[in-house]
Every structure is written in C-alpha cells, then in structure tokens.
C-alpha cells in the first residue's frame, strides 16, 4: 500500500481503528475520518507508536450532518490529488428514534445517506484502479429486513432498533452494487465491493441489545469467544475487499463461519441484488442528500 491514500470513516474506534492500523502498517497514508477529532488523534498516536512515521491525518466528519460531509469532502479535495481506497466503515444504531440535523432518522442518515453523499462528492478523486468498500452486516439479510422507500425514517412503522439498523445495512449493499453497475456502465475500472465483519468484540456491541451487551461483559469473555472474534479478525473482510488484487466489482466478503473466521466470498440476500430497488433507493438518496453522481470514463 506504499504511496497510496486510504480514507476510513469511523476510524476513531473498533473496526475502523483496526482497519486504519493495518493499512498504515502496510505503507498507506490513512485519513482517519471521525466525528471526534480528539478520539481520532488518540488513535493516530497509538498507531504511530506501533508504526513509526505513519502518515495519519485526522479529518473531522459527522456523517449525520450533510454540511459536515460536504466540508470534509472539500478538505479532501484541498489536501489530496487522489484517493486510492475509500472504506465506508462508520456505523451507528440508535435505540430510541431520533433525527439528524437535516431531519432524517439518525441511523439511516449516518449509515447510508452520509456515506452515499461522501462517495459522490469525492468520486472525482478516486483513482482509476481504486476501491470503494462499504461495510454492511449480517442484519442486512435477516428475514425481517426490508427497505421501505415510502417510510425510510420509520415515521409510520414501529421503531424496532434492529429493523432500523438492518434497513440501513441493506441500503449499504444496494448502494454498493448499484454503484458498481453504474461504474461498469460508464466504462470505468474503479471497483465497488462490500464486506461484513461477523461479530467482532467492540464498543458498538453495546448498541445491539441485551444479549450482545451481556456477552460483552468481561466475566463472560470466555463464553463470548465461541461466537465472537477480535477487531483484528473483524477488519479482515474490509481489508480484503479493499486490497486483494483479485477482487471484482460487486463482490461481498465475510467470515467463513456465521459470526467469525477468515474472509471469504459471500452471496448477499436476493433483495440486496434487486436492481430495481437499488435504482429507486439511489434516486431517493440523491433527492434526500442533494448529491448527484457524475461518472466519467
């Protein structure tokens, strides 16, 4: 990765921090795109202690604010002539319904709309042989998971946190597969791929309900190891999607087992591959964010 520039969203903790650490250890300049500059700088200092001389600029970006995303994209344009890898890693899950500063449901705004806007705003910076990787979740394929275009904000449905999260993660896949279709149609060599980490031990698990929170308790760590894996392992699907020379556009990587293991090729749910739904979500996302993609050969 020497000489290459990678941008990792949500790099101030968990899987994002570990992804940034591995990219930096292999020579990349890694932009840590974080909501908190202080947390981002702390992660950067920790990586430099292990990787002396690592280039780790920290970029403030709140994905739940389209103004913040636009400002961050402008700074990327000012600071870099090229981005080789964009890893849309950041994610959230709100237990109680709330709305972003733009008036959108917070989980959907952060997990999907913010990344949709960021990718479109820096599309012209992405190298011809570059990668865009979106980090999804097994929740994208749950039987209860749908994308309701008429009610993306759960204003008219019961607000069940895992249903809300699942919708946003399915939206991540619909976006990345539609992005690849449009890239291919424009005759570009840029690759869009997706990944999911399995169940990795990180602070994010506290959002996933009582069972996940219980398994995160230090006293139950030996039991949790049966179904969870480290952030080092959890970051590998994203890293493979971002760096493996053999990856093709529209591929999806996850662990060998249901929740853990080394990264292998997976097939997402049939709904995630629905081109009609993806196109309609794309159109709605452009309307909601005001970001319209411009593809160049």
For 121-158, the pLDDT digits (tens) are 999 999 999 999 999 999 999 999 999 999 999 999 99
Given a cut of 90, is residue 23 above it in pLDDT?
yes
Tell me, what's the pLDDT at 216?
A: 59
Structure tokens at 177: 């597969």
Tell me, what's the pLDDT at 37?
A: 97
Judged on CB neighbours under 10 Å (0-12, 13-18, 19+), 160 is exposed
Tell me, what's the pLDDT at 199?
A: 86
The SS3 assignment for 54 reads: coil
The single residue of 142, 165, 252, 262 carrying the catalytic annotation is 165
**Domain containing 151 — which CATH number?**
3.40.50.720
Q: Is residue 221 part of a domain?
A: no
Q: Is residue 224 part of a domain?
A: no
215 vs 121: which has the higher pLDDT: 121
Q: Is residue 189 part of a domain?
A: yes
Query: Mean pLDDT over all residues of the chain?
Result: 93
pTM score? 0.93
Tell me, what's the pLDDT at 109?
A: 98
The total domain count for the chain is: 1
Question: How many residues in the chain?
Answer: 297
Q: Is residue 255 part of a domain?
A: yes
Q: Is residue 295 part of a domain?
A: no
**DSSP string for 156-223:** SS---HHHHHHHHHHHHHHHHHHHHHHHHHTT---EEEEE---SB-SGGGGGS-HHHHHHTSGGGHHH
Query: Which secondary-structure segment (H or E) carries 242?
Result: helix 236-243
Beta bridge partners of 7: 31, 86
Q: Is residue 241 part of a domain?
A: yes
What is the span of the domain harbouring residue 145?
5-198+232-289
Q: Is residue 209 part of a domain?
A: no
Neighbouring C-beta atoms of residue 161, cutoff 10 Å:
17
Q: Residue 100 in contact with residue 138, Cβ under 8 Å? A: no
Q: Clarify whether 142 is annotated catalytic.
A: no
Does the CA dihedral 140-100-208-202 come out positive or negative? positive
Tell me, what's the pLDDT at 294?
A: 92
Exposure on the CB side of residue 107, measured as CA atoms within 13 A: 24
Beta bridge partners of 82: none
112 vs 210: which has the higher pLDDT: 112
Given a cut of 60, is residue 208 above it in pLDDT?
no
Tell me, what's the pLDDT at 221?
A: 58
Q: What is the mean pLDDT of residues 256-264?
A: 92
Q: What is the mean pLDDT of residues 69-89?
A: 98
Given a cut of 90, is residue 9 above it in pLDDT?
yes
d(CA 222, CA 180) in angstroms, rounded, equals: 41
Q: Is residue 193 part of a domain?
A: yes
Mean pLDDT is lowest, of 57-71, 144-158, 200-214, for 200-214
């Amino acid at each position: 990765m020497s000489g290459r520039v990678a941008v990792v969203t949500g790099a101030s903790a968990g899987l994002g921090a570990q992804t940034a650490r591995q990219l930096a250890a292999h020579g990349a300049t890694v932009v840590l795109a974080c909501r908190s500059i202080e947390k981002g700088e702390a992660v950067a200092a920790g990586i430099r202690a292990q990787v002396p001389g690592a280039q780790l600029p920290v970029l403030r970006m709140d994905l739940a604010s389209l103004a913040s995303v636009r400002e961050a994209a402008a700074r990327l344009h000012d600071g870099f002539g090229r981005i080789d890898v964009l890893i849309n890693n950041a994610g959230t899950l709100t237990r109680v319904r709330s709305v972003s500063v733009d008036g959108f449901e917070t989980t959907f705004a952060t997990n999907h709309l913010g990344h949709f806007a960021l990718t479109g705003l820096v599309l012209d910076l992405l190298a011809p042989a570059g990668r865009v990787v979106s980090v999804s979740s097994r929740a994208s394929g749950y039987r209860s998971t749908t994308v309701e275009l008429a009610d993306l904000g759960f204003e008219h449905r019961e607000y069940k946190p895992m249903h809300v999260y699942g919708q946003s993660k399915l939206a991540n896949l619909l976006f990345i597969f539609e992005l690849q279709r449009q890239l291919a149609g424009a005759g570009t060599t840029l690759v869009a791929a997706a990944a999911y980490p399995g169940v990795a031990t990180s602070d994010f698990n506290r959002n996933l309900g009582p069972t996940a929170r219980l398994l995160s308790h230090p006293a139950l760590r030996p039991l949790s190891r049966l179904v969870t894996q480290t952030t080092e392992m959890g970051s590998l699907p994203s890293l493979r999607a971002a760096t493996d020379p053999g990856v093709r556009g529209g591929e999806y990587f996850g662990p060998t087992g249901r929740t853990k293991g080394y990264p292998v090729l997976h097939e997402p749910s049939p709904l995630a591959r629905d081109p009609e739904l993806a196109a309609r979500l794309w159109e709605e996302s452009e309307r909601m964010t005001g970001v319209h993609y411009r593809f160049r050969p």
